[in-house]
Amino acid sequence: MSFKTNINGHTKVFCIIGHPVEHSMSPVMHNAALKDLGLNFVYVAYDIKPNQLNGAIKGLKALGIMGFNVTIPYKERIIKYLDKLDPLAKRIGAINTVKNENGFLIGRNTDALGAKKGLLDAGCKIQGKKVVILGAGGAAKAISYILAEDANKMIIANRTEKRAIELVKNLKQNFKANAEGKSYSEKILREELRDAEILINTTPIGMYPNINQSPIPKELLHPELFVFDVIYNPLETQLLRYAKDIGCNTLSGLEMLISQGILAFEWWTNKKPNTNLMKRKVIEYLEMK
């Protein structure tokens, strides 16, 4: 079928908006899956400067963009431009995926859903567990909100303690959660990790190019911990290497990245993408860089 190779007058567009956006893996995985299914769509990245967001949204609507992802720094700011949020996205207060239904924009948080799907697919049971989350930024917010009601206890430890406390305050206003915001100190982490069952790193510590850094020392880990690092570049971080060394089950950020992408793809196209292909293309792309 010619759609496998050609862009033509019928081609429709998906995109990601953010600032910056060149680092995004979404064009790589979505274009691979679209092409594989012979769908006449392309997926592109648009770097939108903060003072251009309003105009960009009008433009996306006017051009009939079918759906788009939203990345840093617009995951919260975008909400006022949308016509509807799904109930979970409304409670989280941040979205990363939008569907355009004839000019009516609907927002979802597939980051949150993708993180939970990644954990469950990896055999990590969340129900009744103690979860420690490092960091209190956008990824921590999505992940803590989606796991809050299943977890027995949640600790958010952040360099800026105030931000962790604020996150927990908002979390408790929207979800039934047993959670505490704390500072990111070795003493506190040592104490909290002793009886924790799930550790999630949402800080950028260990991300390319600082690939030999770990957000916590190896000695704070124990084999009963399930360790999830949301970083996907490198595919295996120093934290995950430490965790594997001492026998922990682990999950990399790649699984979350692919899971959120699958959820967006299925919502936009009503088709099941080839997930192995999406993953392979992202790995190939990261290894090429």
Other Cβ atoms closer than 10 A to 101: 11
Which CB, 168 or 257, lies closer to ligand NAP? 257
Which CB, 13 or 286, lies closer to ligand NAP? 286
Residue 105 structure tokens:
């924009």
Check residue 112 and report its DSSP letter: H
Cα dihedral value 282, 213, 125, 225, nearest 10: 150
Minimum distance of ligand NAP from residue 271's CB (angstroms): 21
For strands 226-229 and 249-252, give the pairing. Answer: parallel
75 catalytic? Reply is yes
Minimum distance of ligand NAP from residue 206's CB (angstroms): 8
Q: Which residues lie near ligand NAP (CB under 6 A)?
A: 72, 111, 135-140, 158-160, 163, 184, 202-205, 207, 230-232, 253, 256-257, 260
Other Cβ atoms closer than 10 A to 15: 23
The residue count for the chain: 289
Minimum distance of ligand NAP from residue 9's CB (angstroms): 34
Strand partners, 140: none
Kindly name the residue from 49, 61, 75, 218 that is annotated as catalytic: 75
Contact 101, 228 (CB under 8 A): no
Minimum distance of ligand NAP from residue 212's CB (angstroms): 14
Catalytic residues: 75
